[in-house]
Amino acid sequence: MTTFTARRTGGTGDPVGAADIAARLGVRAETAATWRHRGLLPEPDWTVSGSPVWDWSQIAEWAAETDRMPSPMVLTVRQPWAWAICAGHQDVENRDGYTDYQGLLLIHAGTRSDPLGYPALDDRGITVPDHEDFGALIGSVTLLDVVPSSSSPRWSEGSYAWLLRGGRLFDRPFPQRGRQGLTAAPAAVLKQLGYAP
């Protein structure tokens, strides 16, 4: 039986556990657990089945105050792959380019789609929603590492496999122009998402 205990009211209504905090701040799960055990994280807002749960707005404020809030980068990806990444269906993004960046990525759905992507996802039993957003930031994911594609058997096209974790779709899209490669996230969008004061 699931138990739910409220600690406070208010907040954004965006509950996160320790693993979610790690993914959104671009750190390992063990790091977030260490923060919790050392008493560095704020008191949880709720307890669900004995596990602490926080409202993301409180964690974002804490991370900004303690210089733990990452400065996310933006990556443009064609649909349906952008949706698949943010919905947690794709944990590898194949690219010809390498980056040593690790941390939070905001996923921008480009203005064009990849027609081969739809049957490829369908073959894996993944159903793409009827409505997709284009030309907008639609979600986020954590980039864990970049390895040669030869060492990653899944989704293996391109020279490098970008290993992803913690895909999250935003409640609404944020229209924006896409650019090639990794680019800095716009300050106005970061503020709306709670990643900047």
Residue ranges covered by each domain of the chain:
4-65, 73-193
Give the number of other CB atoms < 10 A from CB of residue 160: 20
Average pLDDT over residues 123-148: 90
What pLDDT shows up at residue 2?
42
Residue 20's Cα: distance from chain center in Å?
A: 9
Class of domain 4-65: mainly alpha
CA distance 52 to 36: 9
Average pLDDT over residues 49-56: 91
Q: CATH number of the domain at 73-193, please?
A: 2.30.130.30
What pLDDT shows up at residue 156?
55
φ/ψ (deg, to 5) at 4: -135, 120
The pairing of strands 103-113 and 73-79 is parallel
What pLDDT shows up at residue 72?
85
Are domains 4-65 and 73-193 of this chain identical in fold?
Answer: no
Q: Which range is most confident: 52-56, 110-114, 183-187?
A: 110-114
Question: Which three-class secondary structure state does DSSP give residue 81?
Answer: helix
Cα angle 133, 54, 21 (rounded to 5 degrees) comes to 60
Average pLDDT over residues 63-81: 88
What pLDDT shows up at residue 26?
77
